[in-house]
Amino acid sequence: MTRTILITGSSSGIGRATAKLFHEQGWNVIATMRSPEKETELTALENVLVTRLDVQDSASITSAVGAGLERFGRIDVLLNNAGYGAFGPLEAVPMEKARRQFDVNVMGLLETTKAVLPHLRVSGGGTVINISSIGGKVTFPLGTLYHGTKFAVEGLSEALHYELATIGVNVKLVEPGIVDTDFAGRSFDFTNDDSLTEYQEFVNTFLTAQAQLAVGGDKPEVVAETVYRAATDETDRLRYPAGPYATELLAQRAATDDATFIGGIKAQFGL
């Protein structure tokens, strides 16, 4: 029996790489994105359904899940991948942007999961994989909103791990490090206010260091391979660091006290 995965945020980066990998492995793929009319590569693949899903649009979530079930008859794995990062001094960020950050990365993930769970429950099992980040276990400067959402994803996933086990559903977290995607471009939403002069030296130092750190990240395919392993290893393991950088940093965080680790992050950013 051919298994089916539904992926949010499939238009680029990790989502696209994962859709292609699962297709290569013989899965049915429901590749969702906000603007499917712009997609050409995935639509040409057999057993791939490209359809609209915007995690801030409840109707689109319901429609995408329904379309996937109508096309393939089942969903075995949900990959909650859609997300973005709002960075900047908290004083400078409008509250509507703060709400969007949580709506996309947390509320949209929860609503999509809720839309798929009835099918998984009735079918007797499946897997929910949430893309977290090293940013769900460690923090970087000026990432109050982004890190808040990823810490939330870590906590809600761990709690869901208990309750969904009772219906045969595994919950898993994939934790990428720095990934060579357009996250630093289209998905990196930086807000600043030059009139807040007290923050500007800090902001400029951060932006210089961030540009250097973003170079040479893991390829999205590395994360896709970790997602595939999480989906197919038939264990109840919860967390999967993705790539050597994430593995090393998360191990370092677990073994280090707050003052030492945070001091190291400050030094890395020149603060």
Q: Which residues are catalytic?
A: 132, 146, 150
CB-CB neighbours of 266 under 10 Å? 11
Which one, of 37, 70, 42, lies nearest residue 52 by Cα?
37
Specify which residues 171 forms β-bridges with: 128
3-state class (DSSP) for residue 271 = coil
| Residue 56 identity (one-letter amino acid) | Q
Please report how the helices 108-123 and 144-165 are oriented relative to each other, as an axis angle in degrees rounded to 10.
10
Burial 129-160 (b: 16+ CB within 10 A, else e): bbbbbbbbbbbbbbbbbbbbbbbbbbebbeeb
DSSP bridge partners of 239: 173
Residue 120 and residue 165 in contact, taking contact as beta carbons nearer than 8 Å = no
Provide the 8-state DSSP code for 177.
Answer: -
SS3 state at 73: coil
As a whole number of angstroms, the distance between CA 169 and CA 120 comes to 7
